Structure 1
Amino acid sequence: MTTLHAPTAPTAYGSARLLAGATRGERTDLATHRGLHGAQQHRTRAALVEETAAVRLLGRGGAAFPVSTKLAGMPTGSGVEVVVNGSESEPASRKDRTLMTLVPHLVIDGALVAARALKTRRVTIAVHDGAAHASLVQALEERRRAEPHPERVTVRLQPARFVSGEVRAVLSGLEGRPAVPPGHRILPTVRGLHGHPTFASNVETFAQLALLVSLGVRTYAGVGEPAEPGTTLLTLLGDVPAPGVAEVPTGLPLDALLPGSAGPVLVGGYHGHWVPDLRGLRVSRPALREAGVPLNAGVVARLPESGCALAEVAAVTAWLARQSAGQCGPCLFGTAAVARDVATILHGRPAPDVAARVRGLVRRGACAHPDGTAAFVASALSAMTAELGAHLGRGGCGRPYLGVLPLDEDGPR
């Protein structure tokens, strides 16, 4: 079975910024980090709002929400919480784990920038990966000795289930309750950790904040496309020239990363979309959203022609069904029914109700898991017409299941 293993040395297309000092796969300590990025800098909330708006910084999680808008809507004061969501429970994604493991001080710098802008000393980093946890704890110890700060930064291990990475699930887990998304949809900025207003975002977002403050607006926006300047991290896997985590300038055509043979490509991970080819698509959250292909966790996967693509889809769909939080019918029963339909097609039998079942998942769940599963399956069935024809017409494509798309089961990693 082929999987993406970590740690692997990340790569940079152009100059490494987020990954400066880490492209050999070696962890940067505090002294190395300061040599690369300079002394810790801070901003007022008003200045940080202005700078994040100037570079159109979007959150690097699934929602891609404007950071300036979230900051501007936050209150300030000692009761505010800052939460770094490092629960990267998307099995195909390694970008946040790479940042926490190899450049932990960049992540911590970004968290402290947000905390001081919001006039709070309460920072929590939630993480499920053991190596990332150890690196962050070591980084905090390095800071305690060399440059102590007044903020109380804590690193907390969290469950590794897929749905446990959703921000409301992370907050629930940090409070000692089950790490699943609650049914209510109150924004964390209104009522988050322990009932306090909470500025929460994923790991790369905080690393981008640190980089913006270090470089300044002009230098930060000196690469990438105007609609979303800078660089971003992707996890490339499958039939790609350089599998693993890559830092790329925004605006780069996706087919520059995956040259060669055509074929369905998964963009956005297991809540993402399959596309029949990459022509016209580029690494830009605004442009991809307009094309109906959200970048989400930054996963881009192309399956090798030597393997059965439908078997990969069936395996992931079954895994997604097992990841249900069990809180609502569409998630508990609907995803399982869709998974059975995909398995039925894989074995050469028609599943006439699959399209209706997929539609039944959309906007029906207590969280985004049913919608994400629906997008993954519906786009696969649309993009893999030749594969479907082979299975339904001949009972199979004759190619083996390679397990290119990783499936991490529950439990610490």
Structure 2
Amino acid sequence: MSTQHDDTPQHFDTLAIHAGQEFDPTTGAIIPPIYQTSTFVQDGIGGFRGGYEYNRSGNPTRTSLETQLAALEGGAHARSFSSGLAAEDALLRAALKPGDHIVIGNDVYGGTYRLLTRIFGPWGIETTTAELGDLDAVRAAMRPSTRIVWVETPSNPLLKITDVAALAELAHGAGATLVVDNTFATPALQRPFELGADVVVHSTTKYLGGHSDVLGGAVVLRDDALLEAVGFQQFAVGAVSAPLDAWLTTRGIKTLGVRMQRHSENAQAVAEWAAGRAEFEAVYYPGLSSHPGHDLAARQMTGFGGMVSVGLAAGPAAARAYAESTRVFQLAESLGGVESLIGYPPDMTHASVRGTALAVPENVVRLSVGIEDAGDLVADLEAALGRIAR
């Protein structure tokens, strides 16, 4: 299901609106319907209309989303799941076997680390963390059994930037697959396949859905054999996007380009304000020239994104108080919605990495900068500093 033709413009914003979004041929409805059904009538045994048999194995609404995702990332195929972790789980089960090894960054989402160490570890998968910006450290971490190098860039929550092209060359030289979690950047700002990545994963709950009203995940691939393996996991385990969830994600993606522009503009304003405040000993945002990954981010991204983290100079107690003192920024897990959120990673999104090499500094607060008025956002963050100083 696609509206792409040889003469269709292939620019991002056009694809976001039209890829996989063919109008309803029966009524002419410009928006494809939600196929809210659990099963499909067959024209005789095995006579599937359009290839659809049962909602777990396929649904036209999910097909629309998967077509859209593949087009935006520049992959050949995409599979849509019920959550980001469900997508990661299916990919890992498809790509690994007991005895295999994976290298991940030393700053990743806590749920990914928990999945690898507490679910896949007992199954026989070994995980090593490394500073992915240091290629010598990555080489030292790799083994003959390394099958995957897994990178988030920008990373969560310290916004580290990794050279995808250099990491791809290293991974491929060792016979490993490079997986890029593109959740923070989105394909609106970064296209990992063009930099050499083999697989792209997303929590579509975040910027792709964009409105904090849907849970989802995606795997985007170019390799047909891996696609078949991931597809089998999706069918056999069943952690698929429900029709309404797929439709909501598709709707969100249509405004992704303009939203990411505003997220990036607002985050830049917030980061520049924070960089001038003595209350913060560190501001993590690749759009700042002081960020160690700024030049690299400027080369491999078209914008710096909507995530900012700050380190409170007064320490952990001040960081916790600050996270609880804003008004426009709301205290909640997750990110990437149109509204601004604030969180304390050590006890929230990254509690699972406490006491490990991935532990987040306990003075760090993470900001998901929304698309509200930038002046209001800065005023809210400034007022919160006043509240915790009293």
TM-score (norm 2): 0.32
TM-score (norm 1): 0.31
